[in-house]
A = this chain, B = another copy of it.
Amino acid sequence: MNAPLSERRQAQLAALIDAAERRIAEGGMASLKARDLAADIGIALGGLYNIVADLDELALRVSSRTLGRLGEALTAASDALPLESRDDAVNRLVAIAHAYLHFARDNLKLWRTLFELHLAEGTALPTWAADDQLRLFRHVAEPLALLVPTMDEAQQALAARTLFAAVHGIVTLGLEERLVAVPLTALEAQIEWMVRATCRGLGE
């Protein structure tokens, strides 16, 4: 075992993130235990802190990976559709919203940890993590721009954010199993209804 240091570290980091991702997918963020992870990748307990500053950083790295996969899912949903007419734009927004719902459902625990990261009060999140978030909004902003060409860019960004947030809220409550369960198809219908209504409202 004598690969160059940095390479070895890189491999250890990747293995660690893999293990953490598996653990979170299985049992949520609450099951991210230092001792388990160290055992998973075959190092001593203290060794974790040579790879990663603390478990929060690790959760953040897993989240970044999850955000990446989410972005791919939204891209796949977008690219399948044309974007020429206003109708196309609306259909794309619906498709993106549906893709968001399905990603959240298929990656429930990982998706939830995206919003359970509580960075220690003072510290801001790394720029690479913030960038991932902005990329998501852009998925929405692109078709939206076609619907409201008169808005300036800041307004468009804000509108995209709002639409994203609304869909996010519906998905969040819809997948919250401590409330009355809503069938997936009903959830899809509600999301579509709400996106179309909002788009209609945009024109006025």
Contact = CB atoms under 8 A, between A and B. Distances in A.
Q: State how many copies of this chain the complex holds.
A: 2
A73 interface: no
Residue of A125, A162, A182, A198 with most chain B CB atoms under a 10 A cut-off: A162
Interface of A: 28, 30, 118-119, 124-125, 130, 133, 158-159, 161-162, 164-170, 172-174, 178-179, 182, 186, 190, 193-194, 196-198, 200-202, 204
10 contacts: A158-B182, A164-B173, A165-B173, A165-B174, A166-B194, A167-B169, A168-B172, A197-B200, A200-B200, A200-B204
Contacts of A202: 197
Contacts of A182: 158, 161
Nearest to A123: B178
What are the 4 tightest A-B residue pairs by CB atom distance, in nearest-first order? A169-B169, A197-B201, A166-B166, A165-B173
A108 to B, nearest CB: 13
A167 B194 CA distance: 11
Given A125-B178, A165-B174, 7 more contacts: A162-B193, A165-B170, A168-B173, A169-B170, A197-B200, A198-B201, A200-B201
Contact of A193 (B30, B193, B201): B201
A169 B165 contact: yes
Contact of A162 (B165, B179, B194, B196): B194
Contacts of A179: 130, 133
